[in-house]
Amino acid sequence: MSEEQITISVLEQEYKIKCDDTQVELLQKSAALLDSKMAEIKKDSPAMTKDKIAVMAALNLVSLYISQEDELNEYSKVTDELNALQETIDGYRVDE
């Protein structure tokens, strides 16, 4: 795998970042989401410093990540329960 240097823009500031060439699209999407969240916070609180905006955006994104992770774990539990029920049902089937 090779590395690639890309330029991302967050709150009108550019950053040059090296990443694995397989991760370029993910990094670009991540930067776009971060930029969007930070711009939203800046719009709502124009006097807030960039550092505080970055922390607030990070907290918002981590909160979103954790809630989605919790939701996925819940889906996994339900899937396990459904599989167990299916196995029970399959155990009662009469071979024809």
Q: Per this entry, what is the length of the chain?
A: 96
Q: Can you give the pLDDT at residue 95? A: 62
- Cα gap 36→10, rounded to integer Å: 8
Q: Identify any residues that bridge with 8 across adjacent strands, giving them in sequence order.
A: 15
Domain ranges of the chain: 3-92
The tens digit of pLDDT for each residue in 16-27 reads 999 999 999 999
Q: Can you give the pLDDT at residue 76? A: 92
CB 5 within 8 A of CB 18: yes
- Cα gap 37→84, rounded to integer Å: 41
Q: Can you give the pLDDT at residue 96? A: 56
Q: Can you give the pLDDT at residue 21? A: 92
Give pTM, 2 decimals.
0.75
